[in-house]
Structure formats: structure tokens, C-alpha cells
Amino acid sequence: MLMLWLKALHIIFVITWFAGLFYLPRLFVYHAALGGSDPAGAERFKIMERRLFTMMTVGGVLAVLFGGATLGQAPGFMQTGWMHAKLTLVAGLIAYHVWCYRLLTAFRDNRNQHSERWYRGFNEVPTLFLFGIVILVVVKPF
């Protein structure tokens, strides 16, 4: 029973995390499209980006903590291939999160290097992680 409660909280915070992982790079797309044309608009984007990043970091930390607590209730999962693969993908997702922070600080300091088109590609990456991780935990293919 405890494991199911922990897993429910795990999934709730995974959703919170992904809301940010999907939307922050979308803000970067629109922010990059401004170029230097609208300084007031750019300042508004900076505030939205900072707040969204805070929210998604809270979501990410709690998702990982409740994931770890769920795993603590079912340590046998550590013997499975799908869990190892999942944790590898989670490490990639954390790296993506940190990369988002670096991009956020570049925008904040007016030294963004990337185009709107580049951010559109960057924005697709979390979808790939989502497909991979959900298929691994639900199908448990190996």
C-alpha cells in the first residue's frame, strides 16, 4: 500500500517536471525569435523562464526522491534490465535539465547563441525521453 502512495506521488511530480521540460524550451523558441527587437518583451521572457525553471526543478527533485522511495519499497527492481535502462535515461533527462539552466542564464545575460530553429529541435528532446522511459516502466521489455 505504501509503495502505491509513493508511486502515485512519483507520477504526480514527474508530470510537474515534464510540464516545465516541455514549456521552458518553447519559451526559448519565442524568446530567440525576438532577437534584439523588443527589450521589454525579452525582460518579460526572462522572468517567466526563471519562475518556470524554479517550478520544474521542484518537480524534478521530488519526482526523483519519490522514485527513489518507490524503489526502496521494491529493491528487486534493481536486478532488472529495464530499471537500469530507465535510470540511464533519467540521468540523460537530468543533464537536459542542467543544459536548460545554462541556456536560461545565457538569455538572462543577453548572450544567447542559438537560433529559433535550433530551439525548436532542442524542444523535441524531452518527448524522446518520455517515450523511452514510459515504455520501459510499463512494458518492462527486458
* 70 scored as a contact of ligand HEM (CB under 6 A): yes
Q: Within the chain, what is the greatest distance between any pair of CA atoms?
A: 56
Q: What does DSSP assign to residue 142?
A: -
Residue 37 DSSP label: S
Tell the smallest beta-carbon distance from residue 83 to ligand HEM (Å): 7
Among 35, 68, 81, 121, binds ligand HEM (CB under 6 A): 68
Place of cell 516502466: 137
Q: Which of 71, 100, 103, 104 binds ligand HEM (CB under 6 A)?
A: 71
The span from the CA of 43 to the CA of 60, in Å, is: 26
- Residue owning grid cell 525553471: 53
Check residue 67 for interaction with ligand HEM (CB under 6 A).
yes
Of 37 and 142, nearer to ligand HEM (C-beta) is: 142
Query: Is 32 one of the binding residues for ligand HEM (CB under 6 A)?
Result: no
C-alpha cell at 89: 535515461
Is residue 140 part of an annotated ligand binding site? no
Cα–Cα dist 21/117, whole Å: 18
Residue pair 53/104 in contact by the 8 Å Cβ criterion = yes
Smallest gap, in angstroms, from Cβ of residue 46 to ligand HEM?
Answer: 27
Does 82 help bind ligand HEM (rule: CB under 6 A)?
no
Residues near ligand HEM, by CB under 6 A: 7, 10-11, 14, 63-64, 67-68, 70-71, 74, 77, 87, 90, 93, 130, 133-134, 137-138
